[in-house]
Amino acid sequence: MKHTSDDTSNSSRDEDPVKMNYPSTVPSPDLVVIGGLQSMDRWPFPDQPDIRSDRLAELKRFLALLSPDTPVHFEMASYVNHQFASEMLRKIMPYVDSIGMNEQELPNLASLLSDGPISSVSSAYPRAAHMLDSMRTVWALMNNPQLPRVPSASGPGWRRLSRIHLHTLGYQMIMVRRHVHGGQVARRDLDAALAAGGLPARRSDVGLLWPFTRAAAAKASLIAHRHTCAASAIDPVKTRLLMDDSFAVTADPNRWRSALREASSIQDPIPRIHFNASSPVTCWTEPEPSLEHFEEFGHSTEYSDNGRKFDTHVEICVAPVPVCMKVRQTVAAGDNISGGALRVQITARNPSSL
């Protein structure tokens, strides 16, 4: 994407609104990251035509040209213009594999996806259970099989959301799709799906796209401290843990029964995750969140691709953040945190270890 300064990015009309430099020598980048769209949230030029829709349309065309094998990450931001945010969701979100956001942006995205309002107020110290439920809501809504398919470089396709990264002051949460039976079976399922023809399956469909979730959550946690403290090492004197010693896996067991795991019914105590100082990053799996029990969102069916069903679930990893108590910088903290976690999960390694 062509870079322009903040002073001119909204108003320039001398050339294409968004100029994509996508060389033919790199047909399949390792990752495409979308960010900075919040600079178009408000239109400060009343005497000039509003070209924001043109910019979004150009970005949409660029994403449609990407190889299905290239994952797309969208770094969310705070929006106040409901019309622009809704248009962005319609044009851009169907092409997204991964989303990064904070504790204010996550509930707003969940609200926008269900035609709700945008809120400018959020808790600075959100309960983990509430954030987990918001992540499940976004996952379920964006993986609704009734969503329309979008054009891609290989023909009609559908990029299903397969990763959510929530970064807050006190903790990091990453949710990804994984195959129930591990990487070896996932690769076998993917090969069988590709051999069967029809709409091509992708690595994200069978849970192969985002490995090393635990390491990614740990990396994000460390970067959060290092960036805000502007230090290469973590000084315990400047550090404080804000996360509780334990947290519930859901705040709404009636809606998210899949999160109850070993509990036999919603009358049983809600499972809690307890902090372990010797292994601070906690991971678990649960069935993929779906709209099955969401009457307010309409009925949905289990995902299938031309009759093929993939045995997947979600893996969730939570890492407490060693919060910097002598902050030196906060600008671009979310971008650095998301980038560090993505770097861990994009790095090519031996497939047998996935």
Q: Cβ–Cβ contacts within 10 Å for residue 180, how many?
A: 13
Give residue 42's pLDDT.
76
Query: Which has more pLDDT, 255 or 165?
Result: 165
Model confidence at 350: pLDDT above 60: no
Task: Quick: pLDDT tens for 199-243.
Answer: 677 899 999 999 999 999 999 999 999 999 999 999 889 899 999
Alpha carbons 155 and 269: distance in angstroms, whole number: 48
Please state the rounded mean pLDDT for residues 247-260: 91
Task: Return the pLDDT at 262.
Answer: 53
Q: Residue 11 has what pLDDT?
A: 45
Q: Residue ranges per domain, the chain?
A: 32-349
What is the pTM assigned to this prediction?
A: 0.86
* pLDDT of the residue at 125: 87
Q: Is the pLDDT of residue 16 over 60?
A: no
Once rounded to an integer, what is the mean pLDDT over residues 5-11? 44
- 299, pLDDT greater than 50: no
Comparing 160 with 300, which gets the higher pLDDT?
A: 160
